Amino acid sequence: MVTLVRSVLFLPASNARAIEKARGLDCDLAVLDLEDAVAPEMKAEARAAAVEAVRAGGFRGQVGVRVNALGTEWGEADLAALAGLRLDWIVAPKVEEAGTVDAYEARMGEAVRLFAMIETPRALLGLAQIAAAGGPLRALMLGVNDLAKALGTGPSPDREPMKPWLSAIVAAARAHDLLAIDGVFNRLDDAEGLAAECGQARLYGFDGKSLIHPNQIAAAHVAFSPGPAEVAEAQAIVAAFAAPEAAARGAIRVNGAMVERLHLAQAQALLDRAAVCG
């Protein structure tokens, strides 16, 4: 079954208006944020609001909570408050080693899945071990703002300094059958830049993108959903291999290109994703 996480919208758990609005949005995953979006003096209030919002439900898509990191003064209390709730995801910030995944597993419900945020140099060096941690881990998410700050990289319209890490995160995710989610795009009024960055993330193999405003949802859905031309090409490949004369062949010609059975598998996966995207 295809799990769609094209759009991961973060919103402050302390903002009741934002939460209510999020219930009517078509994002694939709404994440109630207890970490970066909440000031220290508001942590307890935000935690209580997140618990109430999850209990009340009403979200069109999946719902998750980004907790404060274990080791902070709020992390343990966040996880304890969420225990037993009907929650789809917990987003764990600044995961730097596989043992952190084990620590979350010991504190999470069995049905809840875990996002590990990769946003420090130490996380990059331990990426293979983190991705292999197993347990509740189902996705890796790039934390671009924290990572850029820690690395000391400068701004670039095509994210030149980040390209090695984009590839590394996707490779680690694919090696362990995890989702790979790209980081946020900060310029809220730059629709062209957002579309370009979503397209870049799709090209690199990401499954979706982290978002910080509802007006970014549509661009993410366009980028991470198969387009009409892709669907048509995939249908042609599937139909060609279904023909009797192709039954014993490993490679055939379709629309002027040689395609192998690995392309057939890719085409079928794309059609399955297109069906879920609608």
Grouped pLDDT means (10 residues each) for the chain, 278 residues: 90 95 96 95 96 96 97 96 95 97 94 96 97 98 95 92 97 98 96 98 98 98 97 97 92 94 95 93
pLDDT at position 1, please?
63
Taking the whole predicted model, whether its pTM rises above 0.75 is answered as yes
Per-residue model confidence as pLDDT tens digits over 2-45: 789 999 999 999 999 999 999 999 999 999 999 999 999 999 99
Amino acid at 36: D
Please, what are the domains in the chain?
Answer: 7-223 (3.20.20.60), 228-277 (no CATH)
Q: Answer yes or no: is 26 a known binding residue.
A: no
pLDDT at position 43, please?
97
pLDDT at position 3, please?
83
pLDDT at position 197, please?
98
Q: Answer yes or no: is 66 a known binding residue.
A: yes
pLDDT at position 22, please?
95
pLDDT at position 194, please?
98
Q: Answer yes or no: is 158 a known binding residue.
A: no
